[in-house]
Amino acid sequence: MGPTALITGITGQDGSYLAELLLSRGYRVIGLLRRTSTTSIERIGHIQDRLTLVSGDLTDEVSLINLLREFRPAEVYNLAAQSFVQVSWSQPVLTGETTALGVTRLLDAIRIVDPEIRFYQASSSEMFGRVRQVPQDETTPFYPRSPYGVAKVYGHWITVNYRESYGLFATSGILFNHESPRRGLEFVTRKVTHGAARIAAGLQRELRLGNLEARRDWGYAGDYVEAMVAMLARDEPTDYVIATGQTHSVRELCEVAFGTLGLNWEDHVVVDPALLRPAEVDLLVGDASRAARELSWRAQVDFYGLIEMMVAADRAALVG
């Protein structure tokens, strides 16, 4: 049996890809599952029998201490968060409890139980917000534009602080948007690929969206979890930007997704002012050259390959 890794957020998009990757490398994988009245394991159902799923919550430090004591992982990947930016305006306190203070609870549990544990924090390009520099790299100052972004800045700095205060092997991956067929339906890429597939199948006629001009650096989640593991394998802990270096607008996303299905997006997309955000992040594009140099990491799937993959999966799920 290889090393033991704990993944918080194992039921999420990234958690499912990371669990698959660690299993393929011989790890024993422990997944933190929060209690819900219905099960939320559809992304990991296919590997469930190879995982150890344990009950806990980022808002409950005792549950974190107890499971570190019981399973003694060598590595902890903190992927759990309230991760949807739009909801962070309607639930700012919950977002802060989980996405910000949850990081401190987990770091503190590590400090108390076993300070040798290697820790990965899921930081975000959303921290760059109203960007101070183009492209953004590890030295770009943060200017968050949402309660979620603010919470992630806290999570990032508390990770750096525990590294510097207590000598923990604590790292922060500043990941730009990454997507997949397992992406939640509320995020714009999946909303568009799923919506376009349903329109092509005659199941709906229109798709309501918000800001079509926002630009993102979209990569493939399966590539990005490789960078997380590589970060914890370094001799020294440090922080990395993970990105493709290419940026595209929501409008281009629509053109490509609908175009793949032979549809004209303008016949179907309706801009709904209710979906505009109180403050927007207009442009994100990352410079991942430190990761290329030090981790030998590069994105393998580009924007066009990613959207084609997602449209194909959504179409296949509808037509069988």
The binder of 188, among ligand G4F, ligand NAP, none, by C-beta within 5 to 8 A per type, is ligand G4F
The binder of 277, among ligand G4F, ligand NAP, none, by C-beta within 5 to 8 A per type, is ligand G4F
The binder of 11, among ligand G4F, ligand NAP, none, by C-beta within 5 to 8 A per type, is ligand NAP
Considering the complex, what minimum distance in angstroms separates the CB of residue 186 from ligand G4F? 6
Q: Kindly state the greatest CA–CA separation across the chain.
A: 58
Pattern of binders to ligand G4F over 87-126, x per CB under 6 A? -------------------------------------xxx
Which residue type does 102 have?
G
Q: Residue 213, interface with ligand G4F (CB under 6 A)?
A: no
Considering the complex, what minimum distance in angstroms separates the CB of residue 165 from ligand G4F? 25
Assigned token pair, 16: 């499912």
39: left (phi over 0), alpha (psi -120 to 50) or beta: beta
Distance CA 274, CA 208 (A): 10
Q: For the chain, what is the total number of helices (H) and then of strands (E)?
A: 11, 13
Of 63, 124, 125, 146, which is the active-site residue?
124
Residue ranges binding ligand NAP (CB under 6 A): 8-9, 11-15, 32, 34, 36, 40, 57-59, 79-83, 98, 122, 124, 175, 177-178, 184
**DSSP-derived secondary structure for 113-152:** H-TT-EEEEEEEGGGT-S-SSSSB-TTSPP---SHHHHHH
Would you say how long the chain is, in residues?
A: 320
Considering the complex, what minimum distance in angstroms separates the CB of residue 267 from ligand NAP? 29
Which residue type does 62 have?
V
Distance CA 80, CA 272 (A): 30
Considering the complex, what minimum distance in angstroms separates the CB of residue 2 from ligand NAP? 23
Catalytic residue check, 148: yes
